[in-house]
Amino acid sequence: MNTINYTYFLGCIFLIIFSSCKHNENEYHHLTDKIEAKSKKYNGVSISSEAYIGDIKTVEITEGHHTFLIPDRKSQITSYTCTDCHSKPLTELKEVSLKKAHWDIMLEHANQEVMNCATCHNGNNMDHLLTLTGKTIDFNKSYRLCAQCHSNQFEDWKGGAHGKNIGGWANPRAVMTCVNCHNPHKPKIESRWPSRFNTQKVKERE
Amino acid sequence: MSGIGKYFKLNMNSATKQTSGSCSCGNSSGGCGSNNQDQMSDKDFDAAVDAAIGDERTKDGFEQVFDVKMDRRTAFRKLTASLVIGAGAVSSSCSLTTGENSKEKAQIDWEEQFKGNYKLMTDEEKKGTVDRLVRSYQLRKGENIKMSSTNAVKDVLFGYAFNISKCQGYMDCVNACVKENNQDRNSEMQYIRIHEMKDGEGLKFNEADDNYYHEVPAEGHFYMGTQCFHCDNPPCVDVCPVQATWREEDGLVVIDYDWCVGCRYCMAACPYDGRRFNWSTPEVPEEEINKNQHYLGNRMRKKGVMEKCTFCVQRSRSGKDPACVEACPTGARIFGNLLDPKSTIRWVLENKKVFRLKEDLGTEPKFWYFMD
């Protein structure tokens, strides 16, 4: 009888010690531990961001391990398809005195030694773009042209460190493609004035 | 109290011993206008303090409030005043002559007054208070708002990354934040600060300008935004004497504006200047009010309570990006679920060189900075 009591008592003590060692608050020593531990059990969430993409027509692309949506480009180019006008070779079009087109495009991208129109555009097939090695690229995948030189930005963009997310943080992931923010003919983003100024802060600090 | 006099005689960086007749202008005779001929002695000072606050110097708070000598007249006057307030509430809710609307208003006010802490509420109670607040707004302003009490979702931990190389200082995020979160227009409250820092001088917040107005990006400068970092070990939560602020399961540090007593301990405890206080009743023009609200987020605050960035809880809990992320034209702001191994925020944390502010404090902010 005595031994049963004794073991019962010991058992209770063990229980108390073991249950009290795990604090709820400090279960993890660092935030990174918590993220690592909790994401092992991650099964996805019910929340979807699909509704927030809005009216933007998107296309799904897969690059490396990443699959995501980018806005459709071809439907956004006003005079696509290009062959509606470019029915003859460029040299012939230049000879006839037609109404001038694309007069407003000035190429301010790298310098003239590095790039000209034909670096990206295919004079013989205006509906498609052209890689440096002469391969055809669809207008919807124009980011592949940019990635030829801007490989670091391309890596960051695929992962999510470069470029602007569309809609929400949950799946499906939709992201702006290069030409949605950068004008391909003049990719530098212009400086401008800030969109607000806090007059109260000035008064408070006088 | 006898040591108080030293503050009047303090004379730093002076080689000569100061004589009692001299003053800060250096003249020993009069003429500078600030001569302290009538400087008080310690004894006089003590006497003056005694006369002003009397025996409150020795009494504690309880004695000051309850152990007060009061004649019958004052006692009656005080009692009547409190009775009138109580009776007002009762009469407007029970009277047959007052209108249905004012009765309902009084009923709502009564229930709101005696509701519990949001943190401890059941889902029904949460819905109850949200419904009351919506109805109250309708009765008072004649406008319909949408207020949610959506709880944290399992397997979500919100995190944020900020690309210092990308931010150009346009402040579109600040603009969007003010509009989204119904921040007071009078005091121009802003949760986000964009600090303009000089290149090559490191992160010097004391020398940075957070209220610039010139063409940006200014040459030789970079921009860094700060806001509430939603620490995983938030010091602001620890110091709150009434537990009106806490960390939710999805990592958001939130405030129950109806439970906050406005002591501003949290403001003092935050090492990142993430919290804001309503010194006056926040005012937003009716047509500019964002009517898509959350109890813990952008619903209208009152005077004397704390508020801060909630990562736009009304948006983020339904899968939308916070307003600042959506507004940023440079893509410098990245938001996502830290527990999703495939999320963009996780890619940034794993592939870029990230850092957080004041990491040594152990506050564990869920807001990382990185560069291209």
Rounded Cα gap, residues A39 and A34, in angstroms: 8
Q: pLDDT tier at A86 (50, 70, 90 boundaries)? A: confident
Using the beta-carbon criterion (under 8 Å), do A35 and B336 form an inter-chain contact?
A: no
CATH architecture of B152-372: 2-Layer Sandwich (3.30)
Q: Which of B134, B167, B161, B137 is nearest to B148 (CA)?
A: B134
Residue A182 has pLDDT above 90, yes or no: yes
Rounded Cα gap, residues B194 and B174, in angstroms: 8
Residue B262 has pLDDT above 60, yes or no: yes
Q: CB-CB: which of A170, A181, A196 is closest to B174?
A: A196
pTM comes to: 0.78
User: Quick one: CA dihedral A75, A79, A82, A83, positive or negative?
Assistant: positive
Q: Average pLDDT of chain A?
A: 87
**Residue given tokens 């990592």 in the structure block:** B251
Residue B58 has pLDDT above 80, yes or no: no
Using the beta-carbon criterion (under 8 Å), do A43 and B372 form an inter-chain contact?
A: no
Average pLDDT of span A130-140: 93
- Chain A environment of B338 (Cβ under 8 Å): 35, 39
- The pair of structure tokens assigned to A178 is 């290069």
Judged by CB atoms within 8 Å, which residues 213-242 of B form the interface with A? 213-217, 232-233
Q: Average pLDDT of chain B?
A: 85
Q: Who wins on pLDDT, B248 or B5?
A: B248
pLDDT of residue B6: 44
Q: Domain extents for chain B?
A: 12-148, 152-372
A57 at interface of B, judged by CB pairs closer than 8 A: no
pLDDT of residue B241: 96
Residue B35 has pLDDT above 90, yes or no: no
Q: pLDDT tier at B23 (50, 70, 90 boundaries)? A: very low
Using the beta-carbon criterion (under 8 Å), do B351 and A31 form an inter-chain contact?
A: no
Rounded Cα gap, residues A146 and A120, in angstroms: 9
Identify from B321, B335, B351, B368 which residue to disrupt to test chain A contact, counting A C-beta atoms within 10 A and taking the largest count: B321
A195 at interface of B, judged by CB pairs closer than 8 A: yes
Identify from A65, A164, A169, A192 which residue to disrupt to test chain B contact, counting B C-beta atoms within 10 A and taking the largest count: A169
Rounded Cα gap, residues B14 and B5, in angstroms: 18
- The pair of structure tokens assigned to A50 is 């699909």
